Structure 1
Amino acid sequence: MSRLFRDIAGDPLCADGSVVCIGAFDGLHLGHQALVRQAVARAHVLGVPVVALSFEPLPREFFAADAPPPRLGPVRAKVEGLRALGVDVVGLLRFDARMAAMTPDAFVEQVLVQRLRAREVWVGPGFRFGHRRAGDIVTLHALGETAGFVAGEIVPLVLDGERVSSTRIRAALVAGDFAAAAALLGRPYAVSGRVVHGQRLGRTLGYPTANLRFGGRVPALRGIYATRVRGVEDLTGSAAPWPSVSSFGTRPTVGGVEPLLEAHLFDFDGDLYGRRIEVEFVARLRDEEKFSDLSALVAQMDRDAAQARRLLGPPPESARTRAAPPQAAQRQGFA
């Protein structure tokens, strides 16, 4: 089982050495995956653990605290994705004023050498680090020669003539182009998390929802979507994802503030509180908007649900035989 650490200071985590890859890893797209797989392959050759090193908050969030840039996924999804790729140790270093002021030399000595005993360090194209982004791959090469590690930079991963990047994925999501986002991610865009209690307003409106928080980060998309939910298969008797309509935003009609993902599973009866689910985005229906009253909101929700049903089709046949009437769904498992 892989380990997670947050601090620079402490005893060496990899006493016999390690192979380290460094990146934001937001969304863990195909470019990130190529970087991690390179590090994993080299670690297997050397017989040492592989470490994926990132920061929380991300540097760009720290420097733009009043208007943080959007995230592709919550922190937990990043950690789980890195572990699934074979990473042994995940570092989410606390990026604060002290970290921002750290010189490239100090970062290499304290983190890569003392903490991780790095034997190889791998980064993506254009990597910069240290105070005022003073360090780059050339810096890593030079410091590595003295410290005893080798530094490498993977070649850019290009798709359709452009480099794969989180920026491209965010733009695709904003445009509702989920096919393009999936091509860059190597999988459909989805948000996962544990279902939490909400205000229970959806239940009173006839649209109970399974609610996921986004870890206090700004999501990369906002609006109303046709979605599919995974993680309910044992309750439905079907391996297929469950069709749903979802709202991702702050719920301005009811005075919401925190971004929340609310998924209404069609014709579903079951208790989802505390369960980990994954909401896959299929199509964008409309922007989030503020309505004059709850009646106007419900009328629009009716139209949204009808449109999503047409796009997604009905729940799996085997599961629909177990589905309860709508009033039962309003009683159980949703906020």
Structure 2
Amino acid sequence: MLRRSGYTLSMSLLFRDAAGPSLAPGGSVLCVGAFDGVHLGHRALLARVRVRAAELGMTPLAISFEPIPREFFGRGAPVPRLASVREKIGLLTEPDMRLLLLRFDAVLAAMPAEAFIEDVLVDRADAREIWIGADFRFGHSRRGDVAMLRAFGERRGFSVSVLPDIEAGGERVSSSAIRKHLAIGEFDAAARLLGRRFAIGGHVVRGQQLGRKLGYPTANIRLGRRTSPVSGIFAVRVQGIGALPLPGVASLGVRPTVNGTEPLLEAHLFDFDGDLYGRRLEVEFVQKLREEEKFSDLDTMVRQIDRDAAEARAILGLHNKNRLSGEHRDPAPFTEA
């Protein structure tokens, strides 16, 4: 079993290899794509696959890739991701859709488009209906397209349908558009295309206790190999502690004032007292306050954090308690920063 945030994923829903027995002996209705973020356009495609599979009595199946092709061909250059692999798996397999998450490596990158159709779509997935976006390309040198799929489908017994572009607020939904909104701090616009607020999740880890000493204890989440599309200081809401999200202020960056090197997400929850070590949290980004910066000393940094906390409280609709005036003191630290 594979643990996910809030649920357990049966391994019978997740497969990694291009070769192997048929995943759907009775036939599948499937979709293919990178699915970074699993945004509203992706969700429309997944919904269509589920509906058609139910109507035909077949298996609903999504085929995706990790790393995403853009990362592989970037040769180590960081690619901002809208969701971690874990989050992507969770979103693609709900409810009960099978997922073929192919390892995108040199072998798969070199696979001719014709071989991808025969070996993956026909033999491995037993495709009867394939649903894709209009700009989908596949195979070595991206030679595969809708026309090639349809020509093979006539011979191999599957149909190909193209889902029209999905728009939200008059804008075409795409992962690149969402990244652009996030890069300039337009979190409401990004949420409109994603269908939810952009968030980063992870388990709370122990830090250096600096936040405790400064009066701002934080829940620390490492990004690992994931490259975030955002950085800076933010008003946030944090899921995973109670029934409702908790408000806070967060920093995402390398912490130049204390000579940090590893990107770290540090979330300070307002008026909260509790132990969060090891707990998995989701930090939702509401509004960007400023860029990360290096301060001359810790006192200067704390004064700025005071201002950040006050601004975040106002954005989140909380009473603006002034820590410097003595009206508010944070409760006992809930984790080490």
Q: TM-score normalised to the size of structure 1?
A: 0.89
Conserved 8 A contact 1:102-1:130: yes
Secondary structure at 1:229's aligned position in 2?
strand
**Paired amino acid for 2:38:** L
- 2:192 counterpart residue number: 183
Aligned identity (percent) is 57
Determine the C-alpha separation between the residues in 1 that align with 2:150 and 2:262.
43
Q: 2:265 aligns with which of 252, 261, 264?
A: 261
Task: Give unmatched runs, 5+ long, in structure 2.
Answer: 1-9, 320-327
What's the offset of the Cα at 1:243? 0.9
Would you say 1:43 and 2:53 are equivalent positions?
A: yes
Cα distance in 2 for partners of 1:24, 1:83 equals 14
Which of residues 108, 111, 119 in structure 2 aligns to 1:102?
111
Hey, what does 1:14 align to over in structure 2?
A: 24
Q: Separation in 2 of the partners of 1:36 and 1:199?
A: 43
1:301/1:38 CA distance change after superposition, 3 Å: same
Q: What is the CA distance between 1:87 and its match in structure 2?
A: 4.5
Maintained 8 Å contact 2:13/2:93: no
Gaps of 5+ in 1: 234-238, 316-323
CA contact (8 A) 1:229 1:279 kept: yes
Contact persistence 2:216–2:330 (CA under 8 A): no
Query: Over aligned residue pairs, what C-alpha RMSD do you find?
Result: 2.0
Quote the Cα distance in structure 2 between the aligned partners of 1:21 and 1:160.
25
| Contact 1:243/1:313, CA 8 A, preserved across alignment | no
Q: Is 1:241 paired with 2:245?
A: yes
1:169 aligns with 2:150: no
The 10-residue stretch of structure 1 (7-16 or 136-145) with the greater mean CA deviation from structure 2: 7-16
* 2:127 counterpart letter in structure 1: A
Q: Offset at 1:292?
A: 3.1
Q: Is the 8 A contact 1:271 1:334 kept in 2?
A: no
Residues 197, 148 of structure 1: alpha-carbon distance in 2 compared, 3 angstrom cutoff:
farther
Mapped contact 1:75–1:215 kept (Cα < 8 A): no
Moved more, 252-261 or 99-108: 252-261
Partner of 2:252, secondary structure, is: strand
What is the letter of the counterpart of residue 54 of structure 2? H
Instruction: Kindly provide the amino acid, as one letter, of the partner of residue 308 in structure 2.
Output: D
Alignment CA distance shift 1:143-1:260 (3 Å): farther
Aligned partner of 2:202 in structure 1 is 193
In structure 1, the residue matched to 2:125 is 116
Which residue number in structure 1 is paired with residue 323 of structure 2?
Answer: none
More displaced stretch, 178-187 vs 99-108: 178-187
Shift of 1:168: 1.2
**Structure 2 equivalent of residue 290 of structure 1:** 294
Query: What stretches of structure 1 move > 6 A for 4+ residues in a row?
Result: none
Say if 1:8 and 1:199 are closer, same or farther in 2 by CA, change over 3 A: farther
Contact 2:179–2:229 (Cα < 8 Å) also in 1: yes
Q: Distance in 2 between matches of 1:115 and 1:301?
A: 54
| Residues 44/215 of structure 1: CA separation in 2 closer, same or farther (3 Å cut) | farther
Change beyond 3 A, Cα 1:215–1:53: farther
What residue identity is the alignment partner of 1:242? L
Which residue, out of 62, 66, 69, partners 1:52?
A: 62
Further displaced range: 143-152 or 262-271: 143-152
Q: How many Å apart are 1:325 and its aligned residue?
A: 6.3
Task: Calculate the TM-score normalised by the size of structure 2.
Answer: 0.88
- Letter of the 1:117 counterpart: D
Separation in 2 of the partners of 1:122 and 1:215? 33
Q: 1:28: Cα distance to partner?
A: 1.2
Q: Which runs of structure 2 are paired with 1:17-166 in the superposition (5 Å)?
A: 17-84=27-94, 86-166=95-175
Shift of 1:334: 4.3
Cα distance, 1:3 vs structure 2: 1.3
SS state at 2:225 partner:
coil
